[in-house]
Chains A and B, each alone.
Chain A
Amino acid sequence: MKKKIIYIMLAVVSSLIVFSCKKDLNVAPQNIIQNSAVFANESAITAYFASLYNELPIEDFDFHPYVGFNVSAQYYMPNLTDESINCLNDDRQDIGSGISLGWWGYTSVRNVNQFIAQIPSANFTQQQKNQWLGEAKFILAYYYFAMVKRYGGVPLITTVENYTGSNLSDLQVPRNTEKDCYDFIAKTCDEASALLPATSDGSRANKYTAFSLKSRAMLYAASEAEYGSVQLNGLVGIESSEAQGYWQKAYDAADSVMASGKYVLYNSGSDKTTNFTNAFIDAASKENIFVKEYQYPAKAHSWDLWVLPHGGVIGPSSGYGSRINPTLELVNSYENIDGTDGTLKLNDANGNPIVYSNPSDVFATKDPRLNATIMLPFSTWKGTTLEIRAGIIDNGQTITSGNYNDLYNNQHIIGQWGIGGGGEISQTGFYVRKYLQPATDHTLIGNYTSTQSFIEFRYAEILLNYAEAAVELGKTSDAMTAVNLVRDRAGIKELTAAEVTRDRIRHERLVEFAIEPNRYWDLKRWHIYDKEFINRQFTALLPYEVLATGGYEFKTKKVGYPKTFTTNMYYERIDPGQISTDPKLVQNPGY
């Protein structure tokens, strides 16, 4: 009996194990969801859009040209231009060589094409589907514009391509011409604006977001036609005869946004500097057309960490900071309030240094935007005076040091935030102010702790796009109206019709958009980069205290690595790996 029980037990258990059925192998992780489930659920569609928007190659705080998007690497765009240099010269010594800023965004293109292909057959209301389709088209146009402004013409892919095992040669596609691409972007923006509603919350696209994109893209296309040259049978460059058409499209698109009356320049207070400061951190700003929002802790960025002055009671605790040092050239380019040339007056008529009893006085007459964009020596940040001193002049003798802790007459020879001593402090004597969030305690600032929105399209750009297109089309008075709106908000003298020139409009873009990513692309599309950046070094402003009076005088010095832009860099190199898999791709000139 006992044995029988044991036999039975053995048999049962063994068979349980052996024949526990192969179904047991059907286990799978639960974090993978199927396509059919996605297009049947509004929340899943929102999740889809979260990914598509996240992949927008917006050159925001977490963009580094050499590292990519959505990374915490010091934002670097102005360090590529005449706006600023890096405190360490460590990251890159030049402004790239045309092989670093690439974004071959076809993975993102595929994802949005897949959405465009599938949404029509999904079970939602037509109105709902139209809105989503419009949003997807805006995103598609944005992706393509990001590529075209880098490479010139790229292959236009509008369907989801699949590899069947035998269609490899069909998948190998040539580049479209740059003109084709810009026309495609214009058309796609038009389709998007037709489908999209007039309002949205600013984090998602509406009709005017699409127009804003179109105005920017068409401005670039027009510049390419006007100032570039056609190469590789139109793969890069656009016939100059097309220029007028594109200027007109840029003008019209901007006009659509302006005519809507939905956006105004931020102009809330009487103090122009405070106003321009707040324009970048007030989430309620009606100047914002399209923003990328952040949230702590899951999706924050690191802007404050990278640009605040390093150290002391200002800098982030974890070190870092000071990575963008605006140049004296940029500071000088801000006009005086009365519209005159704003070059700082450092010496008197005889060439002797002027002694300013209050060092801030040297900036007293400048465009109020300067103070809102750049932290100037001896300006105040949250109650602390930004001590930037290169040394002391005692009885005609200049005392300098490489070390903040060195004292002279029981006084620090150099300032805590420069100049001298090396390390992570400004080389130029200037720091970035734009977008900084003063509400955050400096000890709480670290990697991924900042949450101010990045403004991708703001109304001032639309006005200046309009002004530039208008000038190029000869519509001076239209240009004047638009540019003066911007100057009025800035708090500087408005331009007369005679003053409205191409150069003044370009100059206005420089100071209005300083530190924002625009300058790099403007220098490129105007095709002046290679002429202005030949082994070009930039200048620091060195304040010295005159010990006897306590006043300050200023000297200047060239600092940083020289920057050179070679003509091939107008078009980014196509990664040779891409050409090896698609032999029909033609490489850009000069690589």
Chain B
Amino acid sequence: MEQTYFKCKYYLKYFALLFVFLLFVLTVNAQDQKISGIITDGQGKTVPGISITLKGTTNGTVSDGNGYFTISAPIGSTLSFTSIGYEKKEITVANKSDLHIVLTAAANGLDEVVVVAYGTQKKATVTGAVVQVSGQEITTSTNANTVNLLAGKLPGLRVAQTTGEPGDYATNLDIRGLGSPLVVIDGVPRSAIDLSRLNPNDIDNISVLKDASAAVYGVRSGNGVILVTTKQGSGKPVFNYSATYGVAQQANSPQILNSYQFATLTDESYINAGATPPYSAQQLQQYQSGALPSTNWLNLVLRKSSPEQQHNISASGSSDKTKYFLSFGYYEDGGIYKSGDIGDKKYNFRSNITTNLTKDLQVEMLISGLKDDKYQPGEGVEAIYQALWSEPPTLTPFANNNSGYLQMMPDGTNPVSITNSSYSGYADVDYKNFNGTIDLNYKVPSVPGLQAKILYSYNDTYYFTKNWIKEVDLYDYDAPTNSYSVTGSRNAPTTLSQSYTDINSSTAQASLQYDKSFISGHNIKVLLLAEEDKSSGLAFNGSRQFSLDAVDQLYAGNTLNQQINSSEIDPSVNQGIVGRVNYDYNGKYLLEGSFREDGSSKFAVGHRWGFFPAISGGWRISDEPFLKDKISFLNDLKIRASYGILGDDASSNYQYLSGYNYPGENYVFNGTLVNGLGFRGLTNENLTWYKNHMLNIGFDATLFTGKLAVTADVFSRKRDGLLGTLLLSLPGTVGAALPQENLNSDLTRGLEASVTFKDHIGDVRYSIGGNIAFTRTKNEYIEQAGATNSLSNYLGNSANRYNDIYWGYKVIGQFQNEAEIKSSPVEDGNGNRSVLPGDLKYQDVNHDGVIDGNDLQPIGKNANTPEITFGSTINIQYKGFDLNALFQGGADATVSYLNTIALDGPLAWGRNGLTAFMDRWHHQDLFDPNSPWVPGKYPTTRTKSGTTNPDYWNYQPSDFWLKNASYVRLKSLELGYTLPSSIIGKTGFIRSLRVYVNGFDLFTWSGLNNFIDPEHTSAVYGMQYPIMKNYNLGVNLTF
């Protein structure tokens, strides 16, 4: 491993050299025009603090206090002038060095173009609930996962990161709580994984279709659509290099008990069980004084901070016929193991080229690829965190502190060996993705406004995993005989498993578009489109055991016990025909109608095709004579509504097919392993997609000469045809469950609002924006057995109820003393004889003297993502300085860590625990069970056995364990300084230079602080890699 690491550094050095070389070559070739000028507003007042950027890059300068600026730019390139409160202005650099730029006060981006399904539209005429964020707004912070960069920036787009593990990219993403959205990148359906691994610097904008405007995506549109558009070049060649270096630290991660605390709790648990405590009072004292060892496994194997860096280089520009954007990105996350053996390296490249073959025919070729190398020790993160949280602190990493002998641990998971590839081997995941799209766009010359387009795209995703798990001998030291013996061999015998998965998909589209504006004010736009998407894949894996672990290649392994297998990724095909008409009259009355006839191969013949219509309209009241110029502060007001039917085929893969799954379970007949048949049971040929009825009503308003923009939406989605089974009505003696049918329904409702205010105080320009969204889903019809009585109806009926009700006991306190225990309802099934002071006291709802299932009541919500999500962005510009801060959070959320081994109590199977549990009920004198109780937050310690506990009554679902997971984060903060052109100009070849510092997940306020991060779910017992905060220093250079 050491060697590989060294090689990587070597490689980086070459990369740097190459880069410097390129820099010189390019500098020599560029022909720059030095430009200076002054910027004024409509009233002739000079405007300071305007950003001047070279289009296609993020580089430029800022006008000084007197409105003057200087910049170097190649002739033919485009300069864009932007600032809060002004309309964006673009000019082409000509052979003129002295410019006077006049900016007009912004009408808040109404001329802005928004990417919608299969095209673009002026924001002013959009009738759907569509929100858009620019690439520049995305890259205001640094994170490996592009999806994480979207958190809090768009109302209704919900992002919940679950781990900070390098190369894991696991983040939950949905729109309005509707489920997994369709992700479309440059017009081609892709996966959410592709979005999370996309280089954020390549993104021009991301647009989110939240309502019926997604219906043209048919059978996959039901959960909304995210449209990503990558950058295009314009103007003369511009080269851009940006880099960040940073460190990441654990954001919120629990601490573990030291050996004194551990021994104390252990003794306590034994004494509470009436058993002899394993540690004597004298030993406790020695642990406390340090005479006996205490190992903090977290500090031993984890480093305080892990290194991160990224480099991006891009070239963009255009000639009269060709536009191009070329980029290369590198991202490295070094991970927090001291061994350095976990981490991720990601390489992205992209080539977006558009050229006019003839006057009317344009061809576009988009090619992108990425390679993501994740490496980690042979043990997964979950196993490692389990070991870190639970290995006893009384043990030392090496037997008798002799470094030649790794100490045997409970379960054989010695943290030193399992975090270290040189001991325990490694698991490398090599993820590669290639995407290529070619399209031809033909402007039919004889019919102005008519365009024909065809597109073909091919996407290939390839995973290669190599898991080399080495046998590690672990020792115990025996003091009386002064000897070491191998008492465990972790992962014996040494095994190598390799697997590859190849998933490929393709998209073909053909479309006709017709735009026509009539002098009378009528404008129409028509789209007709046909599309086919296919995907299929295959996985193959093999493993062998090794007698000799010198060569980590399959060919060196033993053939005995070798295993080979393959599996097919379910193939799928979608076909659709789309029609859409947009009509508006003078941009005042807006109407859009669309349909898609869509088919999915996942269903039986006769149930494959569906029709998905949508209609939406808007009315710009502010353009009506009775309002126009009547209300001085109102610039624009649009009311809009949309309704459509959307589909979702994600739930059912070929369930209609009858027969047998082969192979099924296996069995051994006379020494020969025989694959069995899997019985598929009854099938339903009528199964089809979910049908979603989506209604959205909203308005957009701009006020006070564009300073204030307000948008609000309310929506409801009614879904029919959710899968349910008539199972409950078919007797079990039939021996087959009825197949799933499209029976159930639900209803999701919510609202969103966002407000942006932009203004300036002298030279200080600022904008402050906020958004908030709320969503909740209610089951409507649920196929279920009729309740036999009103109590079972109360407890068991899920129809017409919210789908996230968390049932549990209501805790009315902790038992204070034996007398209270004796006089309270029985909760241990044993006359409360096993209950101790400090144990949870539950409400006996039905007053029957027994706490049982009949006393359950709704006590919270078990939504994984908060129902209320919000974000707030603050932007401040002052001369060359810029500051961007994003606060993001969620409310009305709860999380339960019940039955998680470590997060709900210490000492599972005699292992260690978290310091949080020191705050517990205990006897004043540990060794005297008759001494008074000292109250604490948690019940007194028992001999916990993982998820089943001797005091199981404390571990029932209750509001005690339901923690408030509402939070607010300072999600990102960036402070940048763009060097004035007066300095930059002198260098001769640098056009612009911006330096900045930023951070991600910097501060979190939540009820779970110092315990675990609020976004960490209880999945895998909560033992995920911590969520990381990072601090970066960055530079952005254009030349």
Residues of A within 8 A of B (CB): 2, 6, 10, 13-14, 16-18, 20, 22, 24-35, 38, 44, 46-51, 53-55, 70, 88-91, 93, 104, 106-111, 113, 155, 157, 161-163, 168, 171-173, 201-204, 292-299, 311-313, 315, 317-319, 400-403, 405, 407, 410-412, 420-424, 441, 443-444, 575, 577-578, 580-582
B275, B608, B661, B662, most chain A CB atoms within 10 A = B662
Residues of B within 8 A of A421 (CB): 278
Closest to A314 in B: B487
- Contacting residues, chain A, for B440 (C-beta < 8 A): 10
Do B532 and A24 touch across chains, with their CB atoms under 8 A apart?
yes
Q: Do most interface residues of chain A lie in helix, strand or loop, or is the interface mixed?
A: loop
**B732 A104 Cβ-Cβ under 8 A:** yes
Instruction: Select from chain A the residue with minimum beta-carbon distance to B412.
Output: A317
A51–B676 touching, CB < 8 Å = yes
Q: Is the CB of A17 within 8 A of B510?
A: yes
Contact present for B677 and A109 (CB under 8 Å): no
B667 near A17 (CB under 8 angstroms)? no
Name the distance in Å between B569's Cβ and chain A's nearest Cβ.
9
Contact A203–B668 (Cβ < 8 Å):
yes
CA of A108 to CA of B665, assembled, Å: 13
The answer to whether the Cβ of B369 comes within 8 Å of any Cβ in the partner chain is no
Q: How far is the CA of A318 from the CA of B490 in the complex (A)?
A: 7
Give residues in B with beta carbon < 8 Å to A: 270, 275-279, 358, 361, 408, 410-412, 440, 442, 452, 454, 471, 474, 476, 479-480, 485-490, 492-493, 508-510, 530-532, 534, 536, 561, 563, 568, 570-573, 575, 577, 599-601, 605, 608, 653-654, 657-671, 673-682, 727-736, 738, 785, 788, 909-910, 943, 945-946, 948, 950
* Nearest CB in chain A: distance from B541 CB, A: 13
Q: Tell me whether A70 and B669 are in contact in the complex, defined as CB-CB below 8 angstroms, given that A33-B660, A51-B677 are known contacts.
A: no
Given A28-B571, A35-B660, A109-B735: A293 and B671 interface contact (C-beta under 8 Å): yes
* B600 neighbours in A (Cβ, 8 Å): 25
Q: Are B454 and A10 in contact (CB under 8 A)?
A: yes
Question: Is the beta-carbon distance between B480 and A26 smaller than 8 angstroms?
Answer: no
Q: Are B668 and A295 within 8 A (Cβ)? A: yes
Do residues B671 and A171 form an inter-chain contact, with CB atoms below 8 A? no
| Complex alpha-carbon distance, A39 and B565, angstroms | 26
Query: In the complex, which residues of chain B have a beta carbon less than 8 angstroms from the beta carbon of A577?
Result: 728, 732, 785
Chain B residues positioned under 8 Å from A444 (CB to CB): 489, 492-493
Q: Which B residue's beta carbon lies closest to that of A576?
A: B788
- For A48, the chain B residues whose CB sits under 8 A away are 676-677
Which chain B residue lies CB-closest to A106?
B735
Contact yes or no, A17 B508, CB < 8 A = yes
Which of A108, A113, A161, A422 lies in contact with B910, CB distance below 8 A?
Answer: A422
CB atoms of A410 and B733 under 8 A apart: no
The CA-CA distance from A345 to B411 in the complex, in Å, is 38
| B contact residues around A161 at 8 Å (CB) | 733-735
The CA of A108 and the CA of B731, in the complex, are separated in Å by 15
CB distance from A327 to the nearest CB of B (A): 18
Nearest 6 A/B pairs, CB to CB: A110-B735, A402-B278, A90-B945, A443-B489, A51-B676, A50-B676
Residues of B within 8 A of A17 (CB): 454, 508-510, 530-532
Q: Is the CB of A34 within 8 A of B487?
A: no
Neighbouring B residues of A173 by C-beta, 8 Å: 731, 733
CB nearest to A91 among chain B residues: B948
On chain A, the residues within 8 Å of B530 by CB distance are 14, 17-18
Is A51's CB under 8 angstroms from B661's CB?
no
Given B571, B608, B733, which contacts A171 in the complex, CB threshold below 8 Å? B733
> Which residues of chain B come closer than 8 Å to A90, judged between CB atoms?
945-946, 948, 950
16 A-B pairs besides A34-B658, A162-B734, A443-B488 with CB distance below 8 A are A25-B575, A31-B568, A44-B677, A50-B669, A50-B675, A51-B664, A54-B665, A90-B945, A93-B950, A107-B681, A317-B492, A319-B412, A402-B279, A422-B910, A423-B410, A581-B730
B561 & A111 in contact (Cβ 8 Å cutoff): no
Contact A312 B487 (CB under 8 A): yes
Q: Which residues of A contact B476 (CB under 8 A)?
A: 312
Complex formed: what's the CA distance from A89 to B82 in Å?
71
Q: How far is the CA of A313 from the CA of B601 in the complex (A)?
A: 57
Rounded to whole angstroms, the CA-CA distance of A30 and B531 in the bound complex is 26
Given contacts A155-B733, A171-B731, contact A299 B673 (CB under 8 A): yes
The reply to whether A51 and B667 contact each other, CB–CB distance below 8 Å, is yes
CA distance A403 to B275 in the complex (A): 13
Q: List, in ascending order, chain B residues with CB within 8 A of A33's CB.
A: 659-660, 662, 677
Q: Across the interface, name the chain A residue whose C-beta is closest to B569.
A: A29
- B270, B488, B660, B732: which contacts A106 (Cβ < 8 A)? B732
Query: Would A50 and B571 be within 8 Å (CB), given that A402-B270, A402-B278, A444-B492 are in contact?
Result: no
Q: Identify which of B571, B666, B729 contacts A27 (C-beta below 8 A).
A: B571
A27 to B600, CA, bound (A): 10
A65 to B671, CA, bound (A): 27
Q: Are A25 and B608 in contact (CB under 8 A)?
A: yes
B661: chain A residues within 8 A (beta carbon):
31-32
Indicate whether A22 sits within 8 Å of B599 (C-beta atoms), given known contacts A35-B659, A50-B665: yes
With both beta carbons as reference points, the residue of chain B lying nearest to A297 in the complex is identified as B561
Contact (Cβ within 8 A) B658 A54:
no
Q: List 14 A-B contacts (CB under 8 A).
A: A14-B452, A14-B510, A20-B575, A22-B575, A32-B659, A53-B667, A109-B735, A157-B734, A297-B563, A311-B408, A313-B486, A315-B488, A402-B270, A581-B732
**A319 vs B413: C-alpha distance when bound (angstroms):** 9
Shortest CB distance A555–B (Å): 14
Say how far B664's CB is from chain A's closest CB, in angstroms.
6
Distance A176 CA – B733 CA, assembled complex (angstroms): 12
Q: How far is the CB of A583 from chain B (nearest CB, A)?
A: 9
Select B670's contact among A47, A54, A202, beta carbons within 8 Å: A202
Cα–Cα, bound, A173→B476 (Å): 62
CA distance A509 to B287 in the complex (A): 52
Report if A51-B679 is in contact (Cβ < 8 Å); known contacts: A10-B452, A443-B486, A443-B489: yes
**Nearest CB to that of B668 among chain A residues?**
A293
Given A18-B530, A32-B654, CB of A50 within 8 Å of CB of B412:
no
> Which of B608, B663, B730, B785 counts the most chain A CB atoms within 10 A?
B730
Distance between Cα atoms of A47 and B664 in the complex (Å) = 9
B contact residues around A18 at 8 Å (CB):
510, 530, 577
Q: Are A106 and B279 in contact (CB under 8 A)?
A: no
B729 to A420, Cβ gap below 8 A? no
B531: chain A residues within 8 A (beta carbon): 17
Residues of A within 8 A of B487 (CB): 311-313, 315
B571 with A293: CB separation less than 8 A:
no
> Could you tell me if A171 and B730 are in contact, using CB atoms closer than 8 angstroms?
yes
The residue in chain B whose Cβ has the minimal distance to the Cβ of A296 is: B561
Residues of A within 8 A of B910 (CB): 422-423
A171-B734, A311-B487 are known contacts. Are A293 and B676 too (CB-CB below 8 A)?
Answer: no
Q: Which residues in B have their C-beta under 8 angstroms from that of A171?
A: 730-731, 733-734
Chain B contacts for A49, CB-based, 8 A: 667, 669, 674
Docked Cα-Cα span, A402 to B394, in Å, equals 14
Interfacial chain B residues near A311, Cβ < 8 Å: 408, 487
| Cα–Cα, bound, A444→B660 (Å) | 36
Separation of A433 and B585 alpha carbons in the complex (Å): 89
Which residues in B have their C-beta under 8 angstroms from that of A297?
Answer: 561, 563
| Bound Cα distance from A27 to B738, whole angstroms | 24
Of B279, B411, B493, the residue contacting A403 (CB under 8 A) is: B279
Flag if A422 contacts B270 (CB, 8 Å): yes
CB-CB under 8 A from B950, the residues of chain A are 89-90, 93
Q: Which residue of B lies closest to A30 (CB)?
A: B568
- Cβ B659 vs Cβ A401 within 8 A: no
A256 to B40, CA, bound (A): 110
Distance from B82 Cβ to chain A, minimum over Cβ atoms (Å):
39
Closest A residue to B738 by beta carbon equals A163
Question: B667 touches which one: A54, A202, A402 (CB < 8 A)?
Answer: A54
Q: CB distance A29 to B734 under 8 Å?
A: no
Interfacial chain B residues near A295, Cβ < 8 Å: 668, 671, 673
CA distance A157 to B488 in the complex (A): 51
- Cα–Cα, bound, A410→B481 (Å): 9
